[in-house]
Amino acid sequence: MPQPHDLSSSGRSQGLADPADERSNCGVGVVMDLDGAVDHDVVADGLELLVNLEHRGTTGAEENTGDGAGIMLQRPDAFFDAVLDADLPDTYAVGSLFLPRDDDARASLIDLAESTVADYDLEVLEWRDVPTNNDGLGETAVESEPDVWQVAVAPKDDISNEDFDRRLYVARRALENSVEAADIENKERFYVCSLDSDTIVYKGLLKGEQVESYYPDLSDERVESNFAMVHERFSTNTLGAWHLAHPYRNIITTGSSTRSRATSTGCEPARPTSKARC
């Protein structure tokens, strides 16, 4: 007897289920206060949502090494006012970066970052070593674990928010190119998770249920947001990696279903015709 998902020679379903309805994409979700309120409860609800997306993510041979998970939040000004020593101006951004755990390599990359952003009239106000807790992470995640840092950046002159965001983007791309060309050991651990005047990203080679415990910041009541955008990765055509976890700076995507369907039909997935800001 034909199974519900079997296809006939015509390519049509022989049963009640249509194979076109299959879904192999990652888990995504958004929590938002539609009244515009900014509250830690939104963050907490977003983390709860992320835990409940476990069925959309996956692991490899190690049950405690996820394919990747993360959360994007509105920049929590009260929190950064408290944990940073710098006097934060009205216009500033906080970047989230993965850096090597080796002290010398990390120092070289920090120096390169400061000199590169200075070329675009941006000033580094302060670096922050982000508290993390890798208890319970799998061996693969720990072996490839980067050192997570945040950096506060401000313009040296008086510019609009739009011009500031544009300058941040260009500086970030220039920095990535500079790191690529540099002769620095372990530079492959370098990655800019986010650098934006409105948002901040916390992510990693984690399961959804590990994100909050790995990043104690997320349990701090001062970390408030109007929205929480979460992602649990289901890796289909690449192995899991810290930098491949989502959010991707300004977006989350469920592109795996597009890829899997295109592959099964012998088609090439659509490719963007313009550069996206991500």
How far apart CA 212 and CA 47 sit, in angstroms, is 7
Which residues, 6+ apart, have CB-to-CB distance to 190 below 8 Å? 97, 98, 99, 100, 109, 179
Contact 42, 228 (CB under 8 A): yes
Cα of 234 vs its chain's centroid, Å: 14
Q: Determine which helix (DSSP H) or strand (DSSP E) holds 99, and give its type and residue range.
A: strand 93-99
Q: Extract the tokens encoding 121.
A: 């009239």
How far apart CA 134 and CA 167 sit, in angstroms, is 34
Told to judge if 26 belongs to the known catalytic residues of this protein, a careful annotator would answer yes
**Catalytic, out of 26, 193, 267, 278:** 26
From residue 220, how far is each of 116, 140, 224, 261 by CA, in Å? Answer: 32, 28, 9, 41
Tell me the sheet residues that pair with 69. 204, 232
The catalytic site residues sit at 26
